[in-house]
A and B are shown apart, each in its own frame.
Chain A
Amino acid sequence: MEDNLVNTTYLSFTIGSEEFAVNVGKVLEVLQKQSVSPVPNTPDYFSGVINFRGEIIPVIDTRTKLGLPGIILDENFVIIVIEIKVEHDDIVVGAIVDKVKDVISIQNHQIMPVPKMNKEVKTDFFTGIVRSEDGFIIIINFDKIIVSDEAVMLTEFTQASENMLNEITKEELEHVDES
């Protein structure tokens, strides 16, 4: 099984007390101190958009997306800009994490399947888990984060705004009736 001896390089980062890693080949850039412009009427894990090399790209709050506890307290969060595949298109997104830790090399045979975890944490996006000196590192597949939700996200958008419009209209009408 020569395949198992192949080394792959990963970028490791932390969210809260957990350590994660993403294939370096997917990472375009790591941004610090970048202000994110929020977009109204979007799901809560959708932090907003940023200007990345002249393009407007969406930014995902990885913590919320993975169902991890806690909120971003520190202003010094980091955005990892990654390229992901959605169907046949390559799209660029930013993922907010707490800190970027290291670039590590992992042999394929070191990667173990993901064990059952706390129900709150969504394990579908994890490729596997690796033992490290201070515990475990979870390898994330960002392709899946978007694919699984894209359709939902879009309908959520339109649904949310439609409901809101209807509400407003109703409210207004009621008021008119009253007066």
Chain B
Amino acid sequence: MDDLEKFRELFIKEATTLIDSLEEILLDLEKDSNNLKRVEEVFRVMHTLKGVGGMYGYTGVGDLTHGLESIYDQVRNGNISVNNEILDLTFASIDHLYSLLEDQEVRKPENIARQNEFQLRISKLVNTIKKGSDIKRKLPEIKKSDKSTYNIIFQPEEKIIESRINVLYSFKDLAELGEIKAIKSLTSDDNKERWSLFFVGNCTVDEVEEAMMFIWEFCTIEKVADFDLFDENELNARQEFIKSVEVDLVADSSSDDEVTETDNSISKTVTKSTTVLDSIRQNMNRVSVDSEKLDYLMYLVSELITNNSQLALLTVNQSFDSIRPQIEKLDKLSKLFRNNVLDIRLIPMRDIVPKFQRMIRDISKQLGKEVEFITEGMDTELDKSSIDVIVEPMVHLIRNAMDHGIESPEERAEKGKTPKGVIRLSAYYSGNNVYVKIEDDGKGIDEDVIRKKAISIGLINKEDKLSEKEILNLICHAGFSTAQQVTSLSGRGVGMDVVKQKIAEIRGEFEISSKKDKGTTIIMKLQQSVAILDTLLVKSESMKWLIPLADVEVCSQITDSELDKFERTGTLEFEKELIPFISLRSYFHNNKNKVESLKVVVLRKNNQRYAIVTDEIVGQHQAVLKDLGRLMKNHKEISAASLLGNGEVAFLLNTNVFYESMAKTGVN
């Protein structure tokens, strides 16, 4: 039972991947309905889902995909071409398929209703196709008889059990194509199990292979006659001959050249469909791995790195000189190993694009707006965990752009814009960061409206002078975003605070810029890898702190008495400029043993300087960041921790908290 559960889980995973891929394929088909390769792919996905779904008792999935499969089969055979009706039906069925994966036997009433509706739509479609195609259907290739006879030698291997293939399903598929006439076990010298099977049907070799697709690698499929060998009249005459074919095939199942030349009516065909081979080859270069395994690998690597720095610390002594080269080599290797694991965790942005395409397609139909979705730099890679986190904010942002940014075609025409709006999603690297940009050419954000709203809810005062950027940032304020306000604002309030929070979760930042009637641009600045960060290690009293190195501009020092003076105003003088600062000692009420000289770490964010005053700067530290766990995840100033070489724990300062508190002071 447990095993069955496991397989079921595997099935769901596989099915989800397949359905996911379907979206992309369909979007392509929508652009170019004559793309036969794509049609073939849809057919294959449906076929696989049908087979495997039925195997695990997902009757709903089986029935639905069976119907769709037959439609795409007709398309494939050229009896009908892809039209909007078919595409809409398939798109709609994708969502239904997802819900069916959670409802194995179609028990939920809403699923039953939808299942019935789909069945109805499918059968209607199939019927109309049939009516149309019956007339033009021709019977190609087959001259003497409309039936052909095939011999299939099936040689199962242990692998077949490992890959959990239900052989019976393939034969069931085959039986639907025609008639299985004789199954016979063949004896042989090498103790391997072999079965010979004769099949008569009105179909092509490709179709037979299609039916056997799950086990085709264990099969040798041979067309033995262009007619029904098992026809009463033919039977006796042919019996002898068939036996000889069998014997020869068993003797050497790979080279059957001699056999085929004996009779003109027996045509040899290629046994391996090249399309199947191609798709398998494509999949061989990519391995899908459970992300838990990747997380564990990441954990092991971080342990290795921590241990390595401990080892380096313990062996500074000269007496270890003899093993120094080995220690250094270990260090180098673990760094390579780390980079490699970080690399494995990277996923191209492209993987999430189909989701957005689909979303844009649906929403634009809903809103009656025309939108062109352009993507750039989708090869840019991000850590898997970052991708998981940014999908939600991106959905928000794109939805906002569609809903509040892009105008209706009429409105656009009035403004002299093209009726079709553009949403551009681009990603690129810069330094150690990955930037993700979402642009639209809609109506932009009206600053006046935001300003008025902010004043009315008491966020700012009437006389406050805010820069353009500051005004735009107001929409990220938590109180600013309820549905009602958004409509009255016709702005982008929906969950902007959530967007900001999510991005901050992976230590990213984002920036909004907007021009009235020109559009809005949102840029997210993200770390490529969230698990490892270059930091500056500083000490304040007994505590060790980590400051992201990317934020640090310069370090300097001041005396204790100077600090006392500065602390009264909260700003210190640096390069003839007054910059706000926070002293770690006084901030954390940790001011026991005063020291004479203190260090100033000057940080820069958004072109604004601020400083953190600490006791000592220890040096750079490559921090393997650790989660603080449930009890402390809401700690404001500390966003993560890292182990130092000597086993001590250092905390990563959430510099944004300081920056924002100081920026706030500035505004007030």
User: Which single member of B630, B649, B661, B665 contacts A49 (CB below 8 Å)?
Assistant: B649
Shortest Cβ distance from B649 into A: residue:
A37
Flag whether B648 is at the interface (Cβ < 8 A). Answer: yes
Are B590 and A51 interface neighbours, CB within 8 A? Answer: no
The verdict on A173 contacting B665 (CB below 8 Å), with A39-B651, A54-B306 known, is: yes
Q: Is the CB of B635 within 8 A of A157?
A: yes
Structural contact, B635 and A37, CB atoms closer than 8 A: no
Known: A51-B643, A165-B661, A169-B665. A41 touches B637 (CB 8 A): yes
Contact of A58 among B302, B306, B629 (CB under 8 A): B629
User: Among the listed A56, A150, A157, A165, which residue makes an inter-chain contact with B641, where contact means beta carbons less than 8 Å apart?
Assistant: A56
Q: B479 at interface (Cβ–Cβ under 8 A)?
A: no
A48 closest partner in B (C-beta): B649
Stretch at the interface among A6-14, A17-25, A86-94, A133-141: A86-94
- Give CA–CA (A86, B568) in the complex, Å: 44
B 520-571 contacts with A by CB, 8 A? 542-544, 568-570
User: Which of B634, B661, B665 makes the CB contact (< 8 A) with A157?
Assistant: B634
Given contacts A41-B635, A55-B626, A154-B634, contact A172 B570 (CB under 8 A): yes
B residues within 8 A CB of A179? 568-569
> How many residues of chain B get a CB closer than 8 Å to chain A's CBs?
38
Measured between beta carbons, the chain A residues less than 8 angstroms from B636 are: 41, 157-158, 161-162
B475 to A: closest C-beta gap in Å: 23
B589, B628, B636 pick with most chain A CB within 10 angstroms: B636
Contact A56 B569 (CB under 8 A): no
For the residues of B in contact with A, the DSSP-based class is: mixed
Rounded to whole angstroms, the CA-CA distance of A63 and B632 in the bound complex is 21
CB of A175 closer than 8 Å to a CB of B: yes
Digitize B560-590: 1 where CB-to-A-CB distance is under 8 Å, 0 elsewhere. Answer: 0000000011100000000000100001111
Q: Which of B601-651 contact A (CB under 8 A)?
A: 626-632, 634-638, 641, 643, 647-651
Say yes or no: is A57 at the interface (Cβ < 8 Å to chain B). Answer: yes
Interface residue? B241 (CB, 8 A)? no
Q: Which residues of B contact A100 (CB under 8 A)?
A: none
B614 CB, min distance to chain A CBs, angstroms: 13
Contact B648–A35 (Cβ < 8 Å): yes
A146 CB contact (under 8 Å) in B590, B631, B634, B665: B631
Check if A51 sits within 8 Å of B569, measured CB to CB: no
With a CB–CB cut-off of 8 A, which chain B residues contact A58?
A: 629, 631-632
Q: How many chain A residues touch the partner (CB < 8 A)?
A: 38
A56 and B630 contact, CB distance less than 8 A: no
Are B634's CB and A86's CB within 8 A?
Answer: no
Q: When the two chains form their complex, are residues A168 and B635 in contact, meaning their CB atoms are under 8 A apart?
A: no
Q: Which residues of B contact A (CB under 8 A)?
A: 299, 302-303, 306, 542-544, 568-570, 582, 587-590, 626-632, 634-638, 641, 643, 647-651, 661, 664-665, 668
A sample of 19 cross-chain residue pairs with beta-carbon separation below 8 angstroms, ordered by A number, consists of A35-B648, A37-B649, A48-B649, A49-B632, A51-B643, A55-B626, A56-B627, A58-B629, A89-B630, A150-B631, A157-B632, A157-B636, A162-B636, A165-B661, A168-B582, A168-B587, A171-B570, A172-B570, A175-B569
Name A residues whose Cβ lies closer than 8 Å to a Cβ of B. Answer: 35, 37-42, 48-51, 54-58, 86, 89, 91, 93, 146, 150, 153-154, 157-158, 161-162, 164-165, 168-169, 171-173, 175-176, 179
Contacts A56-B626, A161-B636 supplied; 5 other A-B pairs, CB < 8 Å? A51-B649, A55-B629, A56-B649, A58-B632, A157-B634
